[in-house]
Structure 1
Amino acid sequence: MFGCFICSSVCLTLAAVFILKFMQYFILFVSLKFLLLFERHILEAYQVCNSIVAYCCKIKNTCIG
């Protein structure tokens, strides 16, 4: 469980950096097309985070088992 927490924290930090990076472009280019692109990137980042957390938890559970 602690391993999952560490992975989740790392993921949230990376996600925050990712969002801040794209917010710069968001401020500069506010358009429907860009908003759709922005939304897609956030969704992809979220899915990657879920995969990382799931993988870390799997490793942690394997180590405990």
Structure 2
Amino acid sequence: MTSHVAGFEITAARWERGDFTDHLSVVVFPAGAIHAHARDGFARLQEEQGRLLGKRRLRRQPSRR
């Protein structure tokens, strides 16, 4: 992602010289890698949440009535 943003610096420098032939970063945005990272991270968070909620439920038993 950093290289994609840095690639825009090259594009912006060209724009400053009046060269508007490129409108995108010279480095392709890593959408697939970011999507996979977000998906995997979210899955880990859900697992952790389930584990924490499971422990919490175990501590609450037996219920008071």
* TM-score, normalised via structure 1 length: 0.45
Output the TM-score relative to the length of structure 2: 0.45
* Larger helix fraction of residues: 1
| Pair member with larger Rg | 2
